[in-house]
Amino acid sequence: MGFSIPDQSVASWRDLMKTRLLAAGLATIATQGMADTPVLTVLTYDSFASEWGPGPGVEATFEATCGCDLQFVPAGDGAALLARVQLEGAGSQADVVLGLDTSLTDAAAATGLFAPHGVAAPTGLPVPYDDPLFLPFDWGWFAFVYDKTKLSSPPTSFEALAASDLKVVIEDPRSSTPGLGLLLWVKAAYGDRADEIWAGLADNIVTVTPGWSEAYGLFLEGEADMVLSYTTSPAYHLIAEADDTKAAALFDEGHYLQVEVAGKLAATDQPELADAFLQFTQSEAFQSLIPTTNWMYPAVPLAGGLPEGFDAFHPVKSLLMSPADAAAARGPALDEWRAALAQ
Amino acid sequence: MALGLALALLALVLALVLAVAWRGTGLALGPADWAAVRFSLVQAGLSALVSTVLAIPVARALARRRFPGRGALITLMGAPFLLPAVVAVLGLLAIFGRSGLLNRGLEALGLPTVSIYGLHGVVLAHVFLNLPLAVRMILQGWLAIPSERLRLAGSLGFGPSEVFRHLEAPMLREVLPGALVVIMVVCLTSFAVVLTLGGGPAATTIELAIYQAVRFDFDLGRAAGLAGVQLAIGGVAALAAWGLYRPTGFGAGLDRRLEVAAPAGWRLWGDGLVLGAVTLFLTLPLLAVLLRGLPGLAELPAQVLPAALRSVLVALVSTVIATALALTLALESARRPRGLIEAAVTLPLATSGLVLGTGLFLLVQPLATPMVLALPVTVLVNTALSLPYLYRVLLPETRALQADYGRLAESLSLSGWSRLRWLVLPRLARPLGFGAGLAAALSMGDLGVIALFAGEGQATLPLVVGQLAGAYRMEAAAAAALLLVTLSFALFWAFDAGGRRAAA
Amino acid sequence: MLQLDHLTHAQGDFRLTADWSANPGDRIAVIGPSGAGKSTLLAVIAGFLAPTGGAVRWKGHDLGPVAPGQRPVTILFQDQNLFPHLTVAQNLGLGLRPDLRLSPAEQARVEEALARVGLAGLGQRKPAQLSGGQAGRAALARALLRARPVLLLDEPFAALGPALRAEMLALVREVADQTGALVLMVTHDPEDARALGGETVFVGDGRANPPVETGTLLANPPQALQDYLGRK
């Protein structure tokens, strides 16, 4: 008796499962591409590939013109994506990686696994961003989101937040990209005073969650007055739930940007398709899907303008460290953060 | 064969850690890592201690009282243990959180509110999740005291304190070490609960350090080193429990039903109070989970159903394999106690899910596309991770079986299939049902590994819950989580009730 | 012929030796002080304990490598002779086929054996529904069915009253007569030894002495046996 299941039985229970699904009229399982259709494999984060993310729309639109089968491979959240690329190394089946953010691109570039994309930098970002290896496809401002019905005068800076007795939930910079974004935000805004800011915030922080969804969930459950999220979060509630009670607090020191990028893997066996896909990420067809499925700003200005709610919270100042600065700042900032909050 | 299995299990765990280590470079644990080790030990030790100590009066009350709804309460005991960590946390927060029931009540009375965040919150959540498991393990011990022994105690005029000293204390001595170790080791690797309720970086566990090492630093050597530390702690705990084990030597009874004496007076009130308190403690958060999930049920996305089917299938296959393996190991261990088996069935619990998944990924990738093996790999990991619970549940029973009927069975040449059919299965139906139910439900809720392997259209239900929550769809996520919990509980109930019926 | 050939079983400070043989049809009582090794002797013969020296032979063959259930031996323990979750009939059936796939003829033999020991009609009961005497009878009925050439009794009737015990002994004699078995019966009561008829082995001082005719032994006991019996 061994631990592995014989392949045959695996095949048969898979088949069984498939027939059951079909019988239930749920033929939504992925269809295998025809043998002669080239397959473009895009490694991305879960919520991009999921049914309610941009994935299905992107797939349908791109496949209509590429004569290929576009397959998304979900790899967990944004932070897991880079680990996955490194795990797979040069042997990866993926052709394109979509969804790294600029706090990770320095490390991603250092792997040597990416090839230049050759596409002109998009123009819709609030700060110029041009990287030969990584092409931005969307972006957003980190912000603290609150409920207008419960909080009438939100703080206008980290210092005001620290001075208030408001409670906030944040994400852990060691396990999530928004958490890391906040760490870099405070560093970019305050430099050497960052540890002082963190010490001031210590009694405002209810808790630190492993990821964005836990933090946002706690906020919606009423565990905190504010949560670290994006300026676009209120737009989700407005558009998807017709709920206009959520708002983002605008901070005078500026808001840190999350810029999400795509890159081509050097070892791809479909370089032309990969190039075509990267070009496609800059198209109106792709970009117009972004606001209401990924709840971020498009990297290229949309012909029809932005949906309702996306102009509601517009910071006056944008902060973004270069990938190299972000990578260099991370370790010391993390120690600072830990020391200030661990008491 | 059993020893071979134990070795295979050990090899699996160690090989995966080594696979991760091999891709990394050297290991140096800094002060922050040692702080994580210390905190992990403290929170896991406290959680295990509080869960087990509180479980004793609850198990005793359940053993000696008969009341309407007792069976339902015992079944309900399975539920918290089966909750995915994040769901359990949200359920607990509805009661103990900043705007939870408790604090609203305190406010209404003009009393100061309490915060759940911090070490005490972590322990509270772990007790919520594991107290029921401890109760079930200890209750089984109570029910296993032969009625002949209780009758003897009655005839000698033993009062409750003498019964405790001569019968219950030796039973506890046998059952508690195993319960303590399982709970401690499982809390050791707890991640989401500790991080969410811990309140900040002071509450950093080894598992989080591993997470960071893999996710951001891609320092696999460090991850493997930390996983090794975690394994070492688990191994030491397992061997300590093995060393502490003392058989009761109660001997066999004739399966006569004789209830544990039910003393009246203040003890009756005490039992009532204990049962009332534990029922409230366990059901209120469950109720909150139910209420959170109900509104979204109507508009669950279509993806949820195939994911649910996939999860159930994976759970059933994992359960069959894990039950067969655990029974084999527990029978062998009863025949002759062996440290090797003890270590082999405890270490998987102490294994970091992330390292396990990463190790498997590294091993599988050169051989096949990981996606192709997503479900078999999930079955493998579920089997390895649920086997320890099954083994713990079965071991006291296989030991009793061996002590009481080993020679008789041998003298009648009762071996192989006949022994299984006529001796093992009928006598162990109850713990087998309970253990299989646990394994099935645990396999339903398993995460971590599938996330690395699943491709398009291979997501299991827990993965879909995470995906929904990651896309703002908190209501749908709560509903999918409710579906997950309901399915887990249904599987648990079906196996548990099946076992009890077969034993009756 | 059962031969205990320079047999030794040692464990820690405990040591038991035996060097004698017995023939089919012999009825041998085994008496001696508590802890002297009476049960150990039977356990070694039955195969639950391995000899540390010498051998147990049956018809000249060393039983060392033979599993307990394959030995020409039926043993009745002090207790736990019946599985409580099986019916009395199933408990007896295990003596014929461990897989319990009994042919109608085998089922009839089970019924017959039950009737022989006075348990007719009680086959569907569980052991917990039997009295102590009935449970002993059921165990003897299974010995009857197994019809092994050696019957080992490790004080299975110790808990019964004198009258019941005498009845059981009579039943043991009947079973032994019918199967022609060699009987080795542990007891602490010399009256039981007398009632069994035949020979007696005295176990004391680490030695199971060769069997001696019971009447002769009790009439002229060696010193150690005298001490045990409490006579001057």
A305 assigned to some structural domain: no
Is B13 within 8 Å of chain A by CB?
A: no
* Interchain CB distance below 8 Å, A84 and B366: no
Write the CATH number for A91: 3.40.190.10
B30 assigned to some structural domain: no
Instruction: Provide the pLDDT for residue A140.
Output: 95
Instruction: Provide the pLDDT for residue C4.
Output: 93
DSSP-derived letter for residue A120 is P
* Identity of the amino acid at B82: L
Cα B68 to Cα A75, B155, B360, distances in angstroms = 49, 29, 48
B75 assigned to some structural domain: yes
pLDDT band at B363 (very low <50, low <70, confident <90, very high): confident
Judged by DSSP in three states, B245 sits in coil
Chain-centre distance for alpha carbon A61: 21
- Nearest chain B residue (CA) to C143: B412
What does the alpha-carbon distance between residue C176 and residue C179 come to, in Å, rounded to a whole number? 5
Which range among A175-189, B25-39, B191-205 has the greatest average pLDDT? A175-189
Residue A249 host element (H or E): strand A246-249
* Interchain CB distance below 8 Å, B199 and A208: yes
| Complex prediction ipTM | 0.86
Q: Do residues A284 and A336 share a domain?
A: no
Which residues numbered 316-345 in B keep a CB inside 8 Å of some CB on A?
A: 317, 321, 324-325, 328
- For residues C70 and C91, the answer to whether their CB atoms sit within 8 Å is no
Query: How far away is chain B from the Cα of C39, in angstroms, using its nearest Cα?
Result: 13
Contacts of C107 (CB under 8 A, 6+ apart): C89, C93
Is the pLDDT at A15 greater than 50, yes or no?
A: no
* Interchain CB distance below 8 Å, C83 and B404: no
B83 assigned to some structural domain: yes
Average pLDDT of chain A to the nearest whole number? 86
Q: Residue B448: what are its φ and ψ, rounded to 5°?
A: 90, -60
Cα Rg of chain C (Å, integer): 18
User: For the whole model, what pTM was predicted?
Assistant: 0.81
Instruction: Provide the pLDDT for residue C205.
Output: 86
Instruction: Provide the pLDDT for residue B36.
Output: 87
What does the alpha-carbon distance between residue A196 and residue A190 come to, in Å, rounded to a whole number? 9
Q: Is the dihedral of CA B332, B334, B337, B343 positive or negative?
A: positive
Among the listed ranges A129-138, A247-256, B475-484, which one has the minimum average pLDDT value?
Answer: B475-484
Which residues numbered 147-186 in C keep a CB inside 8 Å of some CB on B?
A: none
Closest to B484 (Cα-Cα) out of B464, B454, B457, B499: B464
Q: Do residues A111 and A193 share a domain?
A: no
A1 assigned to some structural domain: no
What does the alpha-carbon distance between residue C179 and residue C148 come to, in Å, rounded to a whole number? 8
A19 assigned to some structural domain: no
Cα B342 to Cα A84, B169, B238, B381, distances in angstroms = 34, 23, 6, 19
- Among B196, B468, B477, the residue with its CB nearest the CB of A209 is B196
* Interchain CB distance below 8 Å, A2 and B8: yes
Among the listed ranges A98-107, B36-45, B62-71, B209-218, which one has the minimum average pLDDT value?
Answer: B209-218
End-to-end C-alpha distance for chain B, whole angstroms? 31
Q: Residue A164: what are its φ and ψ, rounded to 5°?
A: -80, 170
Closest to C185 (Cα-Cα) out of C205, C166, C199, C167: C199
Torsion angle, alpha carbons of A181, A184, A185, A189, to 10 = -170
Give the residue numbers spanning the domain of B368.
2-25+44-290+299-503
Q: Do residues A208 and A330 share a domain?
A: yes
Query: What are the start-end ranges of the H helices in chain C?
Result: 38-46, 88-93, 104-116, 132-146, 162-179, 190-196, 214-219, 223-229
Closest to B262 (Cα-Cα) out of B150, B165, B149: B150
Torsion region of A76: left, alpha or beta (phi above 0 gives left; psi -120 to 50 gives alpha): left
What does the alpha-carbon distance between residue C124 and residue C129 come to, in Å, rounded to a whole number? 10
Mean pLDDT of B246-264: 60
DSSP-derived letter for residue B100 is S
Closest to A13 (Cα-Cα) out of B93, B314, C1: B314
- For residues A158 and A189, the answer to whether their CB atoms sit within 8 Å is yes
* Interchain CB distance below 8 Å, C69 and B414: yes
Which of B411, B413, B418, B425 should be substituted to probe chain C, the one whose Cβ sees the most C Cβ atoms within 10 Å?
B411
Closest to B477 (Cα-Cα) out of B90, B129, B193, B98: B90
Query: Which position has the token pair 């004793």?
Result: B56
* Identity of the amino acid at B165: R
* Interchain CB distance below 8 Å, B422 and C46: no
Mean pLDDT of C87-100: 91
* Interchain CB distance below 8 Å, C80 and B417: no
Instruction: Provide the pLDDT for residue A64.
Output: 92
pLDDT band at A343 (very low <50, low <70, confident <90, very high): low
- For residues A285 and A130, the answer to whether their CB atoms sit within 8 Å is no
Is the pLDDT at A6 greater than 50, yes or no?
A: no
- Nearest chain B residue (CA) to C73: B411
Q: What are B339's two structure tokens?
A: 């440290």
Q: Do residues A173 and A232 share a domain?
A: yes
Which residues numbered 82-101 in C keep a CB inside 8 Å of some CB on B?
A: 83-86, 90, 94-95, 98-100
- For residues B300 and B83, the answer to whether their CB atoms sit within 8 Å is no
Q: Do chains C and A touch (3 or more CB pairs under 8 A)?
A: no
Q: Do residues A38 and A84 share a domain?
A: yes
What does the alpha-carbon distance between residue B471 and residue B469 come to, in Å, rounded to a whole number? 5
- For residues A221 and B99, the answer to whether their CB atoms sit within 8 Å is yes
What does the alpha-carbon distance between residue C137 and residue C76 come to, in Å, rounded to a whole number? 11
Burial class (CB in 10 A: 0-12, 13-18, 19+), A7: exposed
Contacts of A268 (CB under 8 A, 6+ apart): A94, A95, A96, A115, A274
Contacts of B451 in chain A (CB under 8 A): 46, 75-76, 80
CA atoms within a 13 Å half-sphere pointing along the CA-CB vector of A89:
8
Q: What are C76's two structure tokens?
A: 């009745």
Write the CATH number for B451: 1.10.3720.10
A20 assigned to some structural domain: no
Q: How many helices (H) and strands (E) does chain C have?
A: 8, 11
What does the alpha-carbon distance between residue C74 and residue C139 come to, in Å, rounded to a whole number? 10
- Nearest chain A residue (CA) to B11: A3
User: What proportion of chain B, given as a percentage, has pLDDT over 70?
Assistant: 92
If you count them, how many residues does chain B have?
A: 504
Is the pLDDT at A176 greater than 60, yes or no?
A: yes
pLDDT digits (tens, 9 = 90+) for A298-321: 999 999 889 988 988 999 999 999
Among the listed ranges A284-288, B26-30, B350-354, C214-218, which one has the minimum average pLDDT value?
Answer: B26-30
Torsion region of A67: left, alpha or beta (phi above 0 gives left; psi -120 to 50 gives alpha): left
Burial class (CB in 10 A: 0-12, 13-18, 19+), C163: exposed
Strands (E) across A124-186 are located at: 135-147, 168-171
Is B208 within 8 Å of chain A by CB?
A: yes
Query: How far away is chain B from the Cα of C23, in angstroms, using its nearest Cα?
Result: 22
What does the alpha-carbon distance between residue B435 and residue B429 come to, in Å, rounded to a whole number? 10
What does the alpha-carbon distance between residue B63 and residue B123 come to, in Å, rounded to a whole number? 26
DSSP-derived letter for residue B260 is P
Burial class (CB in 10 A: 0-12, 13-18, 19+), A343: exposed
Is the pLDDT at A62 greater than 50, yes or no?
A: yes
Q: Do residues A208 and A243 share a domain?
A: yes
Is B376 within 8 Å of chain A by CB?
A: yes
What does the alpha-carbon distance between residue A45 and residue A81 come to, in Å, rounded to a whole number? 6
> Considering its fold, how many domains does chain B have in total?
1
Is the pLDDT at A5 greater than 80, yes or no?
A: no
Q: Do residues A241 and A319 share a domain?
A: yes
Mean pLDDT of C118-136: 90
> Considering its fold, how many domains does chain A have in total?
2
Burial class (CB in 10 A: 0-12, 13-18, 19+), B379: buried
pLDDT band at C231 (very low <50, low <70, confident <90, very high): low
Q: Do residues A211 and A266 share a domain?
A: no
Mean pLDDT of B234-241: 80
Mean pLDDT of C79-108: 90
pLDDT digits (tens, 9 = 90+) for A144-158: 999 999 999 999 999
Contacts of A52 in chain B (CB under 8 A): 301, 468, 471, 473
Average pLDDT of chain C to the nearest whole number? 89
Q: Is the dihedral of CA B335, B341, B343, B346 positive or negative?
A: negative
Strands (E) across A60-182 are located at: 69-74, 96-101, 114-115, 135-147, 168-171
Q: Do residues A246 and A327 share a domain?
A: yes
- Among C77, C98, C99, the residue with its CB nearest the CB of B407 is C77
Is the pLDDT at A183 greater than 70, yes or no?
A: yes
Is the pLDDT at A17 greater than 50, yes or no?
A: no
Is the pLDDT at A190 greater than 90, yes or no?
A: yes
Q: What are B19's two structure tokens?
A: 């696979």
Q: Across-strand partners of C16? A: C9
- For residues B428 and B402, the answer to whether their CB atoms sit within 8 Å is no
Q: What are B153's two structure tokens?
A: 């105690």
Higher pLDDT among residues B449 and A256, named by residue:
A256
If you count them, how many residues does chain C have?
A: 232
* Interchain CB distance below 8 Å, B471 and A74: no
* Interchain CB distance below 8 Å, B414 and C94: yes
What does the alpha-carbon distance between residue B50 and residue B127 come to, in Å, rounded to a whole number? 7
Which range among A253-267, B32-46, B176-190 has the greatest average pLDDT? A253-267
Instruction: Provide the pLDDT for residue C7.
Output: 93
- For residues B26 and B38, the answer to whether their CB atoms sit within 8 Å is no
Torsion angle, alpha carbons of B255, B258, B261, B262, to 10 = 120
Cα Rg of chain A (Å, integer): 21
Instruction: Provide the pLDDT for residue B245.
Output: 65
Closest to A229 (Cα-Cα) out of A155, A140, A158: A140
Q: Residue C117: what are its φ and ψ, rounded to 5°?
A: -95, 10
pLDDT band at C29 (very low <50, low <70, confident <90, very high): very high
Q: What are B86's two structure tokens?
A: 């994040």
pLDDT digits (tens, 9 = 90+) for C172-193: 888 888 888 999 999 888 888 8
Give the residue numbers spanning the domain of A323.
140-257+310-341
Could you name the CATH architecture of C2-72+148-229? 3-Layer(aba) Sandwich (3.40)
Instruction: Provide the pLDDT for residue B28.
Output: 67
Q: Is the dihedral of CA B143, B149, B152, B156 positive or negative?
A: negative
Q: Across-strand partners of A141? A: A257
* Interchain CB distance below 8 Å, C83 and B421: no
Is the pLDDT at B114 greater than 50, yes or no?
A: yes
